[in-house]
Amino acid sequence: MYDKEKIIKNFSPLIKSSIKKYFANYISYEDAYQDGVVKILELLESYKGGGKVSLECYLKYQLKYFYMQKFFKRKLENEKTYTKIYQTKDDETIEVLELIVDENIDIQKDIETNEMIKKVREIVSTLPQKQKEVIEYKFYENLKNKEIAERMKIKEDTVKEYYKIAKKKLKDKFIENGIDIKE
């Protein structure tokens, strides 16, 4: 039905560019390339022509998506693995990538996140009452300025002013406490 060799030849540059983009330091380029060829062959089997999407477009986006998924899966695995170095009898050093998940990585990230949230809440609690309320309503309850004004029984412009002042104070306090802020 399809000239598979011609299709693979035509999509070879896309496979190569995807590998370079997502797997710059990939140990086996040839394995990654073969994965792409196999994926194209699978896609040819599953493609049902006659729709709004051409074969070329279908293959292009499915192949890119395939490599992106593979990249992110590999990245997650690498974040959860660790390397051990062994010394052999002949004094050769061998690095072995242990594929055992290091559960402490996720726990450590959770602890750091919780500590950061706690620190931010402590800093917010140092604001004057009205400014603190505006920040809490805005960020912890996701209320709009109009809703905050109704709850606090003040004008919307006053909410904006409290927010502007609180934001400046918080920015300064975050910098003092070594909290990285992104605007």
What are the extents of the domains in the chain? 4-79, 103-176
**Do residues 40 and 77 lie in contact, with contact meaning Cβ atoms separated by under 8 Å?**
no
Please state which CATH class domain 103-176 belongs to. Answer: mainly alpha
Do residues 96 and 86 lie in contact, with contact meaning Cβ atoms separated by under 8 Å?
yes
Reported residue count of the chain is 183
Asked if pLDDT for residue 1 goes beyond 80, the answer is no
Q: What topology is assigned to 4-79 in CATH?
A: Rna Polymerase Sigma Factor; Chain: A (1.10.1740)
Which residues lie closer than 8 Å to 18 by C-beta, 6 or more apart?
36, 63, 64, 67
Residue with tokens 């920040």, as numbered in its chain: 135
Most confident of 78-82, 104-108, 109-113: 109-113
- Does the pTM surpass 0.95? The reply is no
Residue 66 reports pLDDT greater than 70:
yes
Q: How far is C-alpha 112 from the chain's CA centre?
A: 17
Above 70 in pLDDT, residue 95?
no
Q: What is the pLDDT of residue 54?
A: 80
Q: Chain centroid to CA 18: how far?
A: 18
Residue 101's CB is within 10 A of a number of other CB atoms, namely 14
Condensed to tens digits (0 to 9), the pLDDT of residues 31-50 reads: 888 888 898 888 888 877 76
CA distance 56 to 48: 12
At residue 49's C-alpha, the angle toward residues 44 and 55, to 5°, is: 55
